[in-house]
Amino acid sequence: MTRRPRAGSLATLAVALLAACGDDATRPAAVRALPDSADQLFVLFRHQLTRDGVRRSQVEADTALFYEGTQRAVLRNTTVHFFDDAGRETSVLTARSGTYWWTSGRVEAEGDVLVRGSGGATLRSEFLRYDDSTRQISTDRPFTYNSAGERVSGTGFRSDPELKYVVTGRPRGVSKKGFLLPGQ
C-alpha cells in the first residue's frame, strides 16, 4: 500500500522553510568596502622615517588608509614625533587628521593641530605642513605660538620642528622679555 502525503503536511513544511529564510540572525555579515577605495587599511599605524640610520620622525595614527596610486596615506587621530640629528625627541605634533606621503616623508595635519616643543613652547593652528626635505613646519593659516613669557599670533609661519626659529609675516604678540626687531 502506497501512502500519499497530505496537502496539509506539505503546506506546513513550506511555511516552516519560508519562515527559516527570514531570520536576520543567520545572514552572513556584510563586507564593508574601504572608504574611497583605499588599497589597504591599517589600525594603530606607526611608521619611522630615518636618514643615515638616525630617526628623524615617527608618524602614528589610530587609522591609516593607504592609496598606492598616489603614494599617500590618509590618517585619523594623527601624532608625529620629531627628532634631532642625534635621534632625541624635540617635539610632538597632534591633529585630528592628516595626510602622509610615504615617498617624501611629507605630512599635512588638519584639525586642532598642536605642536609641543621639548622646551615647553606650543604652536596651535587648524592646518600645518611638515616637509622632511627642508625639515620645516609651516602654514599659511592663522596660528598661535606660546612659550615662557611670549605669545605670538599671526597668519602664516615657518619654523624648525623644535620651534626654535619661527618666522612669520604680520605677527601680533606680547613678550615679557622684549625682543629685537629686524635692523635693530
Contact 55, 48 (CB under 8 A): yes
Q: Count other C-beta atoms under 10 Å from residue 90's C-beta.
A: 18
Q: How confident is the model at residue 28 (pLDDT cuts 50, 70, 90)?
A: low
- Which strand (E) or helix (H) includes residue 159? strand 150-159
Least confident range of 29-43, 75-89, 107-121, 156-170: 29-43
Residue listed under C-alpha cell 610632538 = 92
Predicted pLDDT at 183 = 43
Q: Over the chain, what is the mean pLDDT? A: 81
pLDDT of 86 strictly over 70: yes
Is domain 35-133 classified as CATH 2.60.40.1180? no
Interatomic CA distance for residues 169 and 141, integer angstroms:
11
Contact 145, 121 (CB under 8 A): yes
pLDDT in tens, 93-140: 999 999 999 888 899 999 999 999 988 899 999 999 999 889 999 999
Q: How confident is the model at residue 83 (pLDDT cuts 50, 70, 90)?
A: very high
Q: Which three cell numbers stand for residue 145?
A: 605660538
Contact 42, 64 (CB under 8 A): yes
Contact 93, 87 (CB under 8 A): no
pLDDT in tens, 155-167: 999 999 988 888 8
Amino acid at 174: V
pTM over 0.95: no
DSSP secondary structure of 32-58: PPPGGG-SEEEEEEEEEEEETTEEEEE
**CA 140-143-147 angle, 5° bins:** 135
Residues in Cβ contact with 159 at an 8 Å cutoff, skipping those fewer than 6 apart: 123, 136, 137, 138, 165, 166, 167
- Which strand (E) or helix (H) includes residue 9? helix 7-21
Predicted pLDDT at 8 = 52
